[in-house]
């Protein structure tokens, strides 16, 4: 039985969600790890574990992008989170 079209998103919204999940999620995952690295004194463990934890966080952010009803909102949240991390890094250093 096919899905109701009222529950499906438009191709443009789908493209926005995919791009937000892949590109925006990666940028936000890296920004979060850079923020942690800026706040922690001992940066060795952060560098070592960031290779794996960035990937896991990126996958979670990709899935999270599809929970938004609007692709623009997903981009907004990811860019706002990245800007927040950049602000924390700026004030921490």
Per-residue pLDDT tens digits for 46-93: 889 998 999 999 999 999 999 999 999 999 999 999 999 999 999 998
Residues contacting residue 34 through CB under 8 Å, at least 6 positions apart: 85, 89
Rg (C-alpha) for the chain, rounded Å, is 16
CB 71 within 8 A of CB 15: yes
- Average pLDDT over every residue of 24-28: 97
DSSP string for residues in 9-51: PPHHHHHHHHHIIIIIHHHHHHHHHHHHHHH-S--HHHHHHHH
- The angle, 0 to 180 degrees and rounded to 10, between the axes of the packed helices 25-39 and 44-65 is 150
pTM above 0.85, yes or no: yes
- Surface-to-core class of residue 78, CB atoms within 10 Å of its CB (0-12 exposed, 13-18 middle, 19+ buried): buried
What residue spans define the domains of the chain? 15-92
């Amino acid at each position: 039985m096919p899905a109701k079209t009222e529950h499906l998103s438009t191709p443009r919204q789908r493209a926005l969600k995919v791009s937000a999940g892949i590109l925006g999620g990666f940028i936000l995952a890296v920004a979060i790890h850079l923020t942690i690295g800026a706040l922690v004194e001992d940066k060795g463990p952060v560098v070592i574990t960031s290779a794996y934890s960035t990937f896991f966080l990126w996958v979670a952010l990709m899935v999270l992008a599809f929970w938004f009803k609007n692709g623009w909102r997903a981009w907004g949240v990811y860019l706002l989170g990245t800007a927040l991390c950049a602000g924390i890094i700026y004030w921490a250093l």
